[in-house]
Amino acid sequence: MNFKKYSVRKNLHYNNIFFTAFVFAFAAALICVSVTLQGCAAAPPQTAAEEIKLFEWVRTDEKGGANEQLGHLVFTENGISLTSVQGENRLDLTGECVIEESTVTVISENYGTVVMGYTLSSDKLTLSYSGKEATFVKQ
């Protein structure tokens, strides 16, 4: 009888050791996965130039509402595509661009080199050129 009690206690002891090892191994694997996935998260933009490249922009009407028919702005890695309508005038500006602290310089086949000022305020981007302004909102 003593032998059976010893055998049962010994099995329980080994089961506890196995369970503890399993918990530690699972926790270690979970930590490794979480550390690896943190490296995959996109870093938030550090500058206004980085932020405006991340979004598509739609021009606003007089009341401040987004209106796709008035204009659309998209930045690519090194390029820009801007459509803007002002009354009967329509601007289609595409080309390579350089975004600096407060200016966007566009090199376009149709218009040559165009330098526009910009102001980023929350979800609004205001472009200015030759005394005129156009405001866009994030999409």
Domain assignments of the chain as residue spans, ordered by start: 1-41, 48-138
The percent of residues above 90 in pLDDT, for the chain, comes to: 40
Structure token pair of residue 118:
């910009």
Tens digit of each residue's pLDDT (9 = 90 or more) over 27-55: 676 676 666 666 666 677 788 888 899 89
Structure token pair of residue 9:
């206690």
- For residue 127, which phi and psi values (nearest 5 degrees)? -100, 140
Q: Do 76 and 89 form a contact (C-beta atoms < 8 A)? A: no
Which CATH number is associated with domain 48-138?
2.40.128.280
- For residue 52, which phi and psi values (nearest 5 degrees)? -70, -25
Q: So what's the pLDDT on residue 74?
A: 95
Q: So what's the pLDDT on residue 109?
A: 92
Residue 9 confidence class, pLDDT cut points 50, 70, 90? low
How crowded is the C-beta side of 9, counted as CA atoms within 13 Å? 6
Distances (CA, A) of 61 to 9, 16, 34, 58: 79, 69, 45, 10
User: Of 76, 64, 43, 33, which Cα lies nearest the Cα of 126?
Assistant: 64
Confidence (pTM) = 0.65
User: Of 125, 91, 128, which Cα lies nearest the Cα of 111?
Assistant: 91
Tens digit of each residue's pLDDT (9 = 90 or more) over 63-95: 777 788 899 999 988 899 999 888 888 889 999
- Cα–Cα distance, 73 to 83 (Å, whole number): 6
The average confidence (pLDDT) of the chain is 82
